[in-house]
């Protein structure tokens, strides 16, 4: 049975907890969830020191930041969101992902493409198992992890979107083209420009259109005595190269 979670939210701290949990240790004291027969969204509860929290429904970002296991490198939400923004694929899209890692890209797509199907290829068994655990926490039924090296071929056909986050992604471009439906999208995430160039060179040999490479830079501003950009921010994470199959 899927385990349910709630978010204990205050202005300066928050905690993602299972509804079955009883006593929660916070920076502001202990919250005894056992006192509540039902954990309703919007309900307030105090720690033993008097700090008030409200029970909120957690979002995908809460799970990514607080609950899911994370390997050293992931596709950040800012980059994953731009894939949806630039391709505009429907919520019932058929998607192939490769280089699963922690599964964050596949999970992001599965969360927002609720009527779709996402199959993610991961050649390392231990990574595939971590991704499966993360998917189980969120209870996603439309995301499948395939413990297979995508360099050995893509089983799925007539695909709306293929995303690649892996070394030697250029070696997958030809098979990706064959698996995509006309009008389908290929998106390659590359940390380094040298990788991007190899992908672009391969795309030029195929019948793709709307080929572009973008970089998503996110910079927060601080609002204290004076307003200015934060000194430290989430700047370069990777390059996204997008291409659309013609026929």
Just give the CATH number of 5-58: 3.10.330.20
Asked if the domains 5-58 and 63-245 are classified in one and the same CATH topology, the answer is no
End-to-end CA distance of the chain: 44
Average pLDDT, the chain: 93
Instruction: Give every residue of the chain whose pLDDT is below 70, as ranges.
Output: 1-3
Confidence at residue 1, expressed as pLDDT on a 0 to 100 scale: 40
Superfamily of domain 63-245: Vaccinia Virus protein VP39 (3.40.50.150)
Please report the pLDDT score of residue 74 as a whole number: 86
- Yes or no: say if 11 and 25 are a contact pair by the CB < 8 Å rule: no
Q: What is the pLDDT of residue 218?
A: 86
What is the pTM for the complete model shown? 0.90
Of 56, 58, 25, 26, nearest in space to 43 by CA: 56
Q: What is the pLDDT of residues 124-149, one digit of tens each?
A: 999 999 999 999 999 999 999 999 99
Task: Kindly list the domain boundaries of the chain, sorted by start residue.
Answer: 5-58, 63-245
Please state whether beta strands 180-190 and 159-164 pair in parallel, antiparallel, or not at all (unpaired).
parallel
* Antiparallel, parallel or unpaired: β 239-245 and 208-215: antiparallel
Q: Is 184 in contact with 161 (CB distance < 8 Å)? A: yes
């Amino acid at each position: 049975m899927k385990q349910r979670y709630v978010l204990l939210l205050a202005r300066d701290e928050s905690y993602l907890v299972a509804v079955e949990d009883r006593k929660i240790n916070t920076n502001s004291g202990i919250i005894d969830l056992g006192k509540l027969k039902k954990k309703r969204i919007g309900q307030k509860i105090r720690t033993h020191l008097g700090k008030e929290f409200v029970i909120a429904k957690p979002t995908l970002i809460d799970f990514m930041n607080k609950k899911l296991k994370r390997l050293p490198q992931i596709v950040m939400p800012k980059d994953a969101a731009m894939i949806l923004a630039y391709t505009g694929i429907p919520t019932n899209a058929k998607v192939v992902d490769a280089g699963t890692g922690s599964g964050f890209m596949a999970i992001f797509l599965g969360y927002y493409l609720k009527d779709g199907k996402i199959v993610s290829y991961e050649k390392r068994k231990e990574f595939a198992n971590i991704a499966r655990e993360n998917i189980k926490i969120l209870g996603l039924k439309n995301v499948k992890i395939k413990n297979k090296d995508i360099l050995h071929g893509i089983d799925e056909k007539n695909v709306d979107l293929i995303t690649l986050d892996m070394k030697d992604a250029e070696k997958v471009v030809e098979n990706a083209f064959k698996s995509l439906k006309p009008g389908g999208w290929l998106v390659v995430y590359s940390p380094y420009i040298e990788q991007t160039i190899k992908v672009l060179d391969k795309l030029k040999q195929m019948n793709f259109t709307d080929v572009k490479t973008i970089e998503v830079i996110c910079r927060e501003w601080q609002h204290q005595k004076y307003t200015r950009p934060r000194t430290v921010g989430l700047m370069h994470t990777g390059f996204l190269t997008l291409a659309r199959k013609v026929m």
